[in-house]
Structures are given as structure tokens and as C-alpha cells.
Amino acid sequence: MYHKYLFCSLFIVGLTVANSVKAQSKVTNTRIVINANVTYTKIRTVALRIEAVGALQMLIANDSTFRGATWQKYVPTLPQWILENGEGDKFVYAKFKDAQGKESAAVNDKIILDRTPPINSAIEIEAENGIISNPTKPVKLKLQSEGAAYMMLSNQKDFYNARWEVFKPEVEFNLEVKNDGSQDGLKQVYVKFRDKGGNVAEPSFATVMIDTQAPVDEKITINNAKTFTTDANIQLTLFVRDGLEMLVSENADFSEATWQPYSTNLKWKLTKQGKSKIYAKFRDDAKNESAVTSSEIIFDNTPPTDCSIVIDDGAEQTTHPDRIVKLKIAAKEATQILVSNGLDFYGATWQPYAEIMMWKLDKGGYGERSVYIRFKDAYGNETAVYYDKINYTKKEQ
């Protein structure tokens, strides 16, 4: 009895296996390819390449359940197939029948439908105060665009001769502007972005000011062009065209000087005696520097030194009937003298400096006489009062 049931079971299993092999489709090497196997598409209509050896019919669908699909004659290509609506991963499924009507297993391919260009695009040119003084050097661009994979940069709005390149958030770029002032003014840099699906965003641009020309007509005047001063505190008058800042110094190398806002008037204190030279240069908001200009003035507030007056070579007395004496005068750097018989110098007038001069003593009776003197240099610096004295006596008979 046991063997009878075992035989029946083996017979049924064998029959099932035989029917399964008999039902297997003879279609082989099945494959479906969307748009030559590219990754992205911007439109729903795509081309399908269909491979199935031994197929007489095919069933194509956007749904793995093949809902609503109908069998059709096998063809190796479908040049216009419409994907499901909506962006993202899109699949196309296919299965086939052989001459006996036996179905193959389903195959599929995927493509990404992307119709939205990059968003939030922006470009920024790195430039201090928005100005570039040397446009022959590359500028740094900061770029932004959500979803961008590629970018195209250009100095021209029509992007003539520009090429797509891999998107980078920062890049150096040549402005293609001469450094001779002929192209000074506003300059635009244009950019457009593209995603992997080929969607191109509207162009963006950034503007920068090109300023290659330095301030001109620079000039400095000291104390209204006077040649000397006895006061260390002087007044500078400055002028330049297109200047924003200035650098002023008594040193030709401008050591220890600092840039300050441009002003037409500046108070200055000289630091040394003698001939002083004040240097100035200017720059604009693009940091273009002008040529150096300068002006000179002599600062001297020191009166003559080593001053002295000697009457009659130092004699103690004189008997000259007309009270005439010889004055020996000395003073370094003196150009004028003021001589008087009185300390108040009443009625005295300045006269050219002389080392020897004849002088008439004050009238009156016999006795001591004094001669007072002051010195002045070419810049008007006056000394204190110096004097010498002598006795006026009667000549012995």
C-alpha cells in the first residue's frame, strides 16, 4: 500500500515539472533601454530600445503591474514613449510572448525626469569697496546655485565663446579689461547654471567698478607759499583731483605716516630747524596712489647767538670831545642791529648788521655812558638786549 502511494506522488511531481518546462517562454536576451541609457531627461517623451530574441509580441508599461497595457507586435524601437507625469525616477517595464504565446519575465529600465532648473542662483565679485584697481589680475568669484552641476561664466551677456564647466562655489576669473583707464567704469560678470538633467537657470550677474587711474593734479602749499616761518605750527593747503585719502610726512619715504581722509587744509607742526620739506601723496577709493608732491619752508625760531658789543676795544674811559666811540659788534647769523643809548631804544631804527661802527654817546655831563644793542636774523628772530659801558671824562690839559 505504501509503495502505491509513493508511486502516485512521484508521478504527480514529475508531471508538474514536465508541465513547467513545457510552459517556459522561449524568448531570451530580453532588455529595455530608455534614451540610449542616459541618466536624465527634461521631457516625458523618450525613445525606447527593446531587445528580445524570439519575441513575437510585447507588453510595455510605466507600471510594474502592466495595468491598462495591451499586447502589441514586437518592434525593436519605440521612438516616442510617454513617461508618467511628475519629476523623479521613472521606470518603463516590458515583457514578451513567443510563438506559442508563452510570456517571459518582466524587465525594466529607469531614467530621471528633471524639468526644474537650478534655483537661488547668485554671483559675487570679491572687491574692496566694490572697486578693482588692477583688472589684469584674476578676481575671485563666489557662486551659489541650488541643484547646479555645471556653470558658464562670461564677460559678455551673450556668453560668446563661453563653455560649460563643473560648478564650483569659488573660482578665479579674468575680467579681460585693460589697465590703461580706457575701460574704467562699471563691469559686469555673467553666469548661468545647469543641472545634470540639462535644465539651465536664467543668467545672473554681478557688477564691479573698474578704476585704474590714480588721483591727479596733486599739490601742497605751506603757509600760503611763504618761504620761511618762525613758528613750528604751520598751515598746509592741499589739492588733488579724485582723491579720497592722503599721506603727509616730513620724510620722503613716508615712514611712520598714516593715511587720513583727504582735506584741503591741515595744521602741521614742524619737528626740526632749518629747511623743511613736506611730502604728500593721495589715493582714491580703489587705492590708486598719486605721484608724490612736496613743498619747502625754512623754519627758524632761534635768534642770533654769541652776541656782544665792545666800546673802544674795551677801554674804561673816553675823552673824545664829541663823545664819539668805536663799537665792535659780533653776533652769529645776525642781519640787522638796533643800537641805542637808552634801554628803551626810543627813536632807534633797525640797520644792516656791521661789525664796526662809530657811535655818539648820549649827551650830558661827564660820567658813565652805556650803549645798548639788539640783533635780528633774516627771519626776524630778535635777541635779548646786550650792552657795554664806558666813562666819559674830561680830557686832561
Q: How far is CA 261 from the centre of its chain?
A: 18
| Beta bridge partner(s), residue 144 | 122
5 or 162: which carries more pLDDT confidence?
Answer: 162
Domains 26-113 and 305-392 equal at CATH topology level:
yes
CA–CA dist 321, 393 (Å, integer): 9
Query: How would residue 7 be classed by pLDDT, with cut points 50, 70 and 90?
Result: very low
Does 380 score more than 90 pLDDT?
A: yes
Which CATH superfamily groups domain 305-392?
Immunoglobulins (2.60.40.10)
Give which of 74, 69, 75 is closest to 99, Cα–Cα.
74
Could you say which of 1.10.10.60, 3.30.420.10, 2.60.40.10, 3.40.50.2000 is the CATH number of the domain covering 216-299?
2.60.40.10
Q: Report the SS3 class of residue 371.
A: strand
Asked whether the beta carbons of 98 and 27 are under 8 A apart, the reply is yes
Asked if residue 43 lies in contact with residue 34, where contact means CB atoms within 8 angstroms, the answer is no
Task: Give every CB contact of residue 356 below 8 A, 6+ residues apart in sequence.
Answer: 326, 327, 328, 329
Whole-number pLDDT of residue 179 = 86
Q: Which residues of 55-83 are buried (b: 16+ CB within 10 A; e: fewer)?
A: bebbbbbbeeebeebebeebeeebeebeb
Q: Give the CATH number of domain 26-113.
A: 2.60.40.2550
Is 90 exceeded by the pLDDT of residue 218?
yes
Other beta carbons less than 10 A from residue 145's beta carbon: 24
- What is the per-residue pLDDT across 61-93, written as a single tens digit (0 to 9) for each? 999 999 999 999 999 999 999 999 999 999 999
Grid cell at residue 78: 519605440
Confidence of residue 12 (pLDDT cuts 50, 70, 90): very low
Task: Classify the phi-psi angles of 62: left when phi > 0, otherwise alpha if psi is within -120 to 50, otherwise beta.
Answer: alpha
The string of DSSP letters for 269-302 reads E--SSEEEEEEEEEE-TT--B---EEEEEEE---
Do residues 150 and 194 touch, judged by C-beta distance below 8 A? yes
Quick: pLDDT tens for 267-313. Answer: 999 999 999 999 999 999 999 999 999 999 999 999 999 999 999 99
Q: Residue 397's pLDDT is what? A: 62
Q: Residue 180's pLDDT band (boundaries 50, 70, 90)?
A: confident
Is the pLDDT confidence value at 8 over 90?
Answer: no
Does residue 359 contact residue 339 with C-beta atoms inside 8 Å?
A: yes
Ordered by start, the domain boundaries in the chain are 26-113, 119-210, 216-299, 305-392
Q: What is the mean pLDDT of the chain?
A: 92
Look at 21 and 85; give whichever has higher pLDDT. Answer: 85
Residue 28, helix vs strand vs coil: strand
119-210: which CATH architecture?
A: Sandwich (2.60)
